[in-house]
Structure 1
Amino acid sequence: MTRLFAGTPFDIPPECDLCGRVESECQCTQADKNAAEAQRQREADRLPPEKQTARIGTEKRKGGRTATVIKGLTARANDLPALLSQLQTACGTGGTVKAKDDLIELQGDHTQAARECLKAIGFRVK
């Protein structure tokens, strides 16, 4: 198949987006290209913290335990595991991410510490 401007000064051979080489000299595998495209899509789906609102509340669990629940931050727009580790460090507690429900749970009542940590990152908090 010939290119539109083949043989003219405007002929620019296609380059690989991943390594930047001409496609005929590219050493990238299809799996590498697919992984790079998936990473680009994840980055495109991310929203800055200033455009998101986190809702913090507490829930009573069986046995009288309390859990701090953070809702409103979607797994598609955020890196929830990284955010959880920042919150765990700030609160000094354990927790988990439930990506299907788009929520973060922290063990114990840590609403104030979680609120301050999320505000420091840049999220709006309710």
Structure 2
Amino acid sequence: MTRLFAGTQFDIPPTCDLCGKVEAHCQCSAAQKAEHERKLAVERQRLPPEQQTAKIQRQKRKGGRVATVIEGLTAAANDLPQLLKQLQAVCGSGGTVKAKQDLIELQGDHLDTVRRQLKQIGYRVKG
């Protein structure tokens, strides 16, 4: 008996975090468990929107095109691709995530729409 309360009414055998079964009956592979741990580690690094400030600006590009750029939201603290999808749906335009530079670009002039949507999600907004 290696567990502290083994053999008593307080004995609760350890369970798998992934499938919920008792570890003796768990059939999860090591790769599945490692992937689950990686996802949990990423979620622990996330910050709530209330603790972040987004900087929004309009940039002119060559050929007279305009892009709306959102900076100040780090890729480690946010799910930038998911946020981009939400903003694209609201604005009805294309865009991209540049994770190395920690910015989101939307095609077109959507400054007011993006500002409104980010405030609705809970981010603080500048610009």
Q: Which amino acid aligns with 1:108?
A: G
1:62-83 alpha-carbon deviations (Å, 9 max, x no partner): 2221111000111111111111
User: How many residues matched?
Assistant: 125
Instruction: With the length of structure 2 as denominator, give the TM-score of the two structures.
Output: 0.87
Instruction: With the length of structure 1 as denominator, give the TM-score of the two structures.
Output: 0.87
Q: After the TM superposition, list the runs of 4 or more consecutive aligned residues in structure 1 that deviate by more than 6 angstroms.
A: none
Residue number in structure 2 paired with 1:100: 100
Alignment of 1:84 with 2:76, yes or no, is no
Alignment of 1:26-41 (within 5 A): 26-41=26-41
Residue number in structure 1 paired with 2:65: 65
Residue number in structure 2 paired with 1:112: 112
Q: Which amino acid aligns with 1:49?
A: P
- Which has the higher mean CA deviation after the structures are superposed, 103-112 or 22-31? 22-31
Shift of the alpha carbon at 1:96? 0.6
Supply the distance in 2 between the matched residues of 1:35 and 1:93 (Cα, whole angstroms): 33
Supply the distance in 2 between the matched residues of 1:111 and 1:22 (Cα, whole angstroms): 52
1:60-115 alpha-carbon deviations (Å, 9 max, x no partner): 21222111100011111111111111111211211111111110001111111110
Supply the distance in 1 between the matched residues of 2:121 and 2:11 (Cα, whole angstroms): 48
Query: Which structure 1 segments of 5+ residues have no match?
Result: none
Identical-pair percentage: 62
Residue number in structure 1 paired with 2:18: 18
Shift of the alpha carbon at 1:4? 5.3
Q: Using a 3 Å threshold, how does the CA distance of structure 1 residues 7 and 40 change in structure 2: closer, same or farther? A: closer
Shift of the alpha carbon at 1:8? 4.6
SS of corresponding position for 1:24: helix
Q: Which amino acid aligns with 2:2?
A: R
Q: Which amino acid aligns with 1:57?
A: Q
